[in-house]
Structure 1
Amino acid sequence: MTRLRAAPSRVSPRVRAWIAAVLALISGYVIATARQVIVRPPLMLSQDSVPPGVSAPAQVSLENVGGPVITITPVGQKVTTLLVFYPGGLVRPQAYEWLGRALTAQGVQTVIPVFPLDLAVTGVNRASGLIATYGQGKRVVIAGHSLGGAMAAQYASGHADQLAGMILMAAYPAGNVSLRETTLPVLSLLAEEDGVADPQAVRDGLKRLPENAELTVIPGAVHAFFGRYGPQKGDGRPTVTRAHAEDDILRAVGAFLERLPKP
């Protein structure tokens, strides 16, 4: 009987070592990337949230309504508006606390839900519970940044009659989402030097928004200037300071809220 012999390996030990090293690097990268997504940075309130200019007193707390939610409530004045804000993808929700604090001067209570893995796609309808808990007697506006804005638009497409307005920051409705047939007031903000959200896609998204939707360009700003979470890979190069951009964002948002009907 003829015995079959295994063919000798033609891969040299040196090549095998290189292959093992490359596989180890790839595995390390995958593990490190997965860890960044799964293990989120700590949720720390009020550490980087002082808005530009003079702000009104605010009470900031972490509550539980269908999951953790940051609430920013004006102190010593009547609350007329509830702003439900969906954070950008993989962005910690406290990055938008500055905006909520600034808006308290207009009687706005802001609630920022904490989503699993910091991805609003995991809880598109989270706004319903927040509106039921905090929205009584107030006009309700939904807003979101980047992926959070896309998810806010998706929510609004099925609940437009419960909302007084919507604010999108460097965001637009997904291709299968349309609010064209509604009369919901919408403000779309576009950072002039945005390198993450395609400016043309933001403009094209207006075709899936109500005809009265407003587009406002924030001069010199980049994608990461809407939230305080540091530089973002692939983003553009700003030509203004963050503080200058935040002032422009606040003016645009504040003017939009002023134009909405009172509750």
Structure 2
Amino acid sequence: MSTEPAPTPPAPVRSRRRPRLSPRVRAWVIAGVSLLGGYLISTARQAVVRPPLVVGQDAVPPSGTDTARVTLENVGGPVIDIRPAQGEADTLLVFYPGGLVRPQAYEWLGRALAAQGVQTVIPAFPLDLAVTGIGRAEGLIAQYGQGKRVVIAGHSLGGAMAAQYAANNPDALAGLILMAAYPAENVSLKDRTLPVLSLLAERDGVAAPDDVRGGLDRLPEGTTLTVIPGAVHSFFGRYGPQKGDGLPTVTHAQAEGEILNAVQDFLTGLK
């Protein structure tokens, strides 16, 4: 006869009730999640869906005289082609826009330079980020640069990518123009003989003036540094105020005049 004790019955499982949110708190949580989701969707949409590429809306050069023909073309992607209205250009300027800036923001410069016999081409990059197509200049030079002196330029992130292209292709270029920009720390043109113009906005709050000056250590000897008095980062283009930028002490038009003079003097010096 078995003498084993009877098994102990399992302890009853106690249900744990989750604390319930009051209707008011629940409404606030739902509203917060909805707002956050809407913000994230809106931000992502702005990054992916860029404004349309339109020319001629805000591009009168500082002199008020327009001597250019402007067309939208496709050379490995959309590109704004700005050339002299009369005669042939002897210089091709390939311009890389700043990060998240539409190409038409720099149309004013191309129109102003057209009077000096300069053809300017401004490519559009995926997401408006030149880092997505650093070598884009190669196709543009092949398309437009035959028989012309070629200079590459760029603003901000576009300038850094233009410097990288110049470091890899110095023999294809006659000059490099950096606007509120400098080579990345792993990019050096120090041993190149390429003429370089570096433009620094005195009141820049995005590309710190000390960083722009520090970038001279990675540029060729004899690089020209020109300070645009009272200007800020966004004054190189026409795209409105920029978060984190400084406060200017000159008008946008005054800064554009100084920028144009510096670029024209640099290009003239290459002849």
Length-normalised TM-score, structure 2: 0.92
Alpha carbons 1:194, 1:222 under 8 Å: kept: yes
What does the per-residue CA deviation read over 1:68-89, in whole Å, with 9 as the maximum and x for residues that have no partner? 1100011222311000000011
Query: Is residue 85 from structure 1 mapped to residue 75 from structure 2 by the alignment?
Result: no
Q: Count the aligned residue pairs.
A: 261
Query: Is residue 98 from structure 1 mapped to residue 108 from structure 2 by the alignment?
Result: yes
Per the alignment, residue 170 of structure 1 pairs with: 180
Per-residue deviation at 1:213? 1.0
Tell me which moved more, 3-12 or 66-75.
Answer: 3-12
Alpha carbons 1:56, 1:74 under 8 Å: kept: no
Per the alignment, residue 262 of structure 2 pairs with: 252
Length-normalised TM-score, structure 1: 0.95
Per the alignment, residue 35 of structure 2 pairs with: 25
Per-residue deviation at 1:4? 4.6
Per the alignment, residue 37 of structure 1 pairs with: 47
The amino acid of 2:16's aligned partner reads A
The amino acid of 1:144's aligned partner reads G
Counterpart-to-counterpart distance in 1, 2:14 and 2:222: 78
Question: 1:110 aligned to 110, 114, 120, which one?
Answer: 120
Counterpart-to-counterpart distance in 1, 2:36 and 2:259: 41
The amino acid of 1:6's aligned partner reads R
Per the alignment, residue 69 of structure 1 pairs with: 79
Tell me which moved more, 2-11 or 222-231.
Answer: 2-11
Change (3 A) 1:56 1:9: closer
Query: Is residue 216 from structure 1 mapped to residue 193 from structure 2 by the alignment?
Result: no
Query: Is residue 129 from structure 1 mapped to residue 143 from structure 2 by the alignment?
Result: no
Query: Is residue 188 from structure 1 mapped to residue 198 from structure 2 by the alignment?
Result: yes
Counterpart-to-counterpart distance in 2, 1:152 and 1:163: 11
Could you tell me which runs of 5 or more consecutive residues in structure 2 were left unpaired when the two chains were aligned: 1-9
After TM superposition, the structure 1 = structure 2 runs for residues 1-16 of structure 1, keeping only pairs within 5 Å, are 1=10, 2-9=12-19, 12-16=22-26
Counterpart-to-counterpart distance in 2, 1:8 and 1:63: 62
Query: Is residue 198 from structure 1 mapped to residue 208 from structure 2 by the alignment?
Result: yes
Per-residue deviation at 1:14? 4.0
Match of 1:106, SS state, is: coil
The amino acid of 2:147's aligned partner reads G
Per-residue deviation at 1:10? 6.2
Query: Is residue 153 from structure 1 mapped to residue 163 from structure 2 by the alignment?
Result: yes
Counterpart-to-counterpart distance in 2, 1:25 and 1:54: 45
Match of 2:169, SS state, is: helix
Counterpart-to-counterpart distance in 2, 1:194 and 1:253: 19
What does the per-residue CA deviation read over 1:81-105, in whole Å, with 9 as the maximum and x for residues that have no partner? 0000000111110110000000011
Per-residue deviation at 1:35? 1.4
Counterpart-to-counterpart distance in 2, 1:16 and 1:173: 51
Aligned residues with identical type, % of pairs: 71
